[in-house]
Amino acid sequence: MSGISIDRKKPRAALQQLLLDGNIEPVLELAGILHGHYCQGLALGVKAVEAAFTRLGITDNTGMEEIMAVSEGNSCFVDGIQFAAGCTLGNNALVYKDLGRTAAVFYRRATTTAIRVVVKSFEFNSGSESEDNEGNALFEKAVKRREKLTNEESSRMKEIWIKRSFATIAMPFETLFTITEIKTPDLPFAPIMDSQECSVCREKVMESRVVLRSGKPVCFTCAGEEYRMVIGKGIATAKALCQ
């Protein structure tokens, strides 16, 4: 473990300092707490933040939407971004574009230049071709074909993925990414909205997510309205099938 200490008034400061110092290994190690495993996507997300924040001179992120990340996909990469950048779905500093790309834009509001980081490839190896082939075969089996791995195979896959992930963050930015400067996106702050009580289920619901039925507020699920949800394949629109 990295053993960093947390200043409660600036809970991200210690993590940010590691990024600024280029001491990225403990950042990836800690990101595993969020993501659950080490993989190249997570490693690339963490490394993309290091690349962008270094260029933008970002030394702190208070999670108040001043520092923004726009992810162009919802793969493992975005967990690396959320953890290392502190731009998350919950603090509204993460914008998700359903484009299926392993790319992200980072910027500070009130500035004109943003940094776009695009992953060049997922073929970065760990230094051993036979191990990489073995890792790829296990990935095909476990993730693509959803077949059960033996305990030994599972442990082996983790070993290879850990090795690849930590080898990836040691590579230079230019090997991993195409990095460009773009104009800062003009995205609004998250609105602060009142809640209303659904007249059917009696739960509190954001006022923009109710419809009126006989003059009374009803939530989307009780009303059978269409709503959107983020699922593995991206943003989907569904009738209220599940509550």
Pattern 103-142, Zn ion, x by CB under 5 A: ----------------------------------------
Contacts with Zn ion, 84-103, as mask; x by CB under 5 A: --------------------
Token readout for 138 is 């296990």
Angle at 147 between CA 169 and CA 155, to 5 degrees: 45
Residue 222 interacts with Zn ion (CB under 5 A)? yes
Q: Which of 19, 24, 28, 76 binds Zn ion (CB under 5 A)?
A: 76
Give which of 224, 226, 223 is closest to 213, Cα–Cα: 223
Report in angstroms how near the CB of residue 41 gets to Zn ion at its nearest: 5
Residue 39 within binding range of Zn ion, rule CB under 5 A: yes
CA distance 170 to 157: 20
| Cβ atoms within 10 Å of 238's Cβ, excluding its own | 11
User: Of 87-95, 144-152, 154-162, 193-201, which part binds Zn ion (CB under 5 A)?
Assistant: 193-201
Contact between 207 and 218 under an 8 Å Cβ cutoff? The reply is no
Q: Is 238 in the site for Zn ion (CB under 5 A)?
A: no
Q: Which is nearer to Zn ion, 80 or 86 (CB)?
A: 80
Q: Is 200 left (phi over 0), alpha (psi -120 to 50) or beta?
A: alpha
- The residue count for binding Zn ion (CB under 5 A) is 8
**Least distance from Zn ion to the Cβ atom of residue 131, Å:** 18
State which of residues 177, 198, 210, 217 lies at the interface with Zn ion (CB under 5 A). Answer: 198
3-state secondary structure of 36: coil
Distance (Å) of CA 176 to CA 47, 110, 111, 179: 9, 29, 26, 9
Give me the residues that bind Zn ion (CB under 5 A), please. Answer: 39, 41, 76, 198, 200-201, 219, 222
